Structure 1
Amino acid sequence: MEIIRYAELRPQPWRNGGGVTRELASHPKAASAQDGAWDWRVSIAEVSKAGDFSGFPGMERVLTVIDGELLLLTVDGAEHPLEKYRPFRFSGEAASHGALPTGDIRDLNVITRTGSFKGYTSIIELSKKRAHPLFEGQLGVLLQGQATVSAGAAEEAGDGAEQTGAEQDGAEQNVAEQDVAAVPAPEPEALSRYDAVVGSDERSPEILGRGFLAVVSIDRVAGEGAG
């Protein structure tokens, strides 16, 4: 189970010097937030003054205000009032400018290379009774409140079909392997604000708590090779 601690991330200047950002994850891993060598990136930016946003030619952006009330984002001359927790998709190539009528904000940025990956952001309310799982290709970011994360239960082998022949011969060995694997699960770990949890299809992390979670999904566009 992988947790990215926000407090340990180093702030980096925007490409145009208009603000700072902290990278949560990228692929492939870039040397810095500025070099653009990645095909996708998830980051949190601090916006404390009006100004132009950096351009990302060949990319698509999903921007979500996660702290503060309002960002007035102008994209290619059209103004879009972005309220808290409402994701907005736009082209990275577009001329974009942000104004802050209600003060400083933070925003969650998902930037993907057009034609290779597609990014999505959903904001969900957490529950103390029903855990929210995170799967492969997802990243969960705690935006507000208190939460813990724990590794989900391991998937059971087989699909419940009746075993015959060689499968029956190996039944005792399977039971023995399951006994060895039945080790106590790790204790749940507390999450701080803006900590991120990396999803997995193997013992998918499960988040419990009270507050709001951003679930970022990065999907490979059909037709692209693995890598």
Structure 2
Amino acid sequence: MQTAPTATSPETHFHLIRAADLAPVPWKNGGGITRQIAICPEGATLDTFSWRISAAVVEQAGPFSIFNGIDRFIVVTHGASMTLVNAVDQSRRSLQQGQTFAFAGEAALAAELPDGPIQDFNLMVRRGQGLGELTVRQSAQRLVLYEGSTVLHCVSGVFTISQASINGREYQLAAGDSLQATLPAGCQTLVEIVPEQAGSSLIDARIRHTAVVIDGD
């Protein structure tokens, strides 16, 4: 029999991130603009983060920034597709909207835009400090959040996220908004996600910490 999730402890932290509060910053290689959604630890730089989540607008073909020692996870959120080309062996990987892809930050990849500009969602995790995963969700579901960090990012439409263990508190996410949950070791909790409009889409980004203190502890 499956064990029910434990109740949220006082140490569990939820943080609502509004799209309007995200400032644009240049890519590491200067080739584009991104908006940082969340970073751990708070105040870390591109050289010191344990994990980082951002959303970028890709308007023209060009190389990806190199991030040594980083595992990367990406999904196209707006626009039809993006093709990633490996500069070493010229292998190609076409990513359609909503399709996730994982790759090493050291990889010499360049983006081609066969159908015009796109937007993407990026999770970067420093190797040895955590494990990452991206899942795209479009239907009403109950999700178990485990120890570590979870960022629920509304790509389109509107989602309501609720959790019984916090006295019925609800969060409503419009397109571009995110909800970050940080759970300490040994804690898990249950949330329900409900799309409020047809065509609503949400990214479920998970980071399981392996060798880093959870942000906020």
TM-score, normalised with respect to structure 2: 0.79
CA distance in 2, matches of 1:68, 1:194: 15
Specify the alignment match of 2:179 in structure 1. Answer: 197
CA distance in 1, matches of 2:159, 2:133: 22
Correspondent of 2:107 among 94, 102, 121 = 94
Q: Which structure carries more helix by proportion?
A: 1
Q: Bigger CA drift: 118-127 or 43-52?
A: 118-127
For the pair shown, the structure with the greater C-alpha radius of gyration is: 1
Give the residue type in structure 1 aligned to 2:81: L
CA distance in 1, matches of 2:212, 2:26: 33
Query: 5+ unaligned residues in a row in structure 1: which ranges?
Result: 156-183
Q: Bigger CA drift: 206-215 or 15-24?
A: 206-215
Give the residue type in structure 2 aligned to 1:193: A
The alignment yields a C-alpha RMSD, in angstroms, of: 2.2
Specify the alignment match of 2:208 in structure 1. Answer: 219
| Percent of pairs with identical residues | 31
CA distance in 1, matches of 2:144, 2:195: 12
Shift of 1:133: 5.5
Query: 5+ unaligned residues in a row in structure 2: which ranges?
Result: 1-13
Specify the alignment match of 1:147 in structure 2. Answer: 159
Specify the alignment match of 1:64 in structure 2. Answer: 75
Specify the alignment match of 1:78 in structure 2. Answer: 91
Specify the alignment match of 1:12 in structure 2. Answer: 25
For the pair 1:209 / 2:195, whether they are aligned, the reply is yes
Specify the alignment match of 1:40 in structure 2. Answer: 51
Which secondary structure does the structure 2 equivalent of 1:102 belong to?
coil
Give aligned pairs, total.
191
Q: Is the 8 A contact 1:126 1:209 kept in 2?
A: yes
Specify the alignment match of 2:6 in structure 1. Answer: none
- Closer/same/farther in 2, CA of residues 206 and 36 from structure 1, 3 Å limit: farther
Q: Which structure carries more strand by proportion?
A: 2
Q: Deviations over 1:14-45 (max 9, x none)?
A: 0111111111111112355xx32201111101
TM-score, normalised with respect to structure 1: 0.76
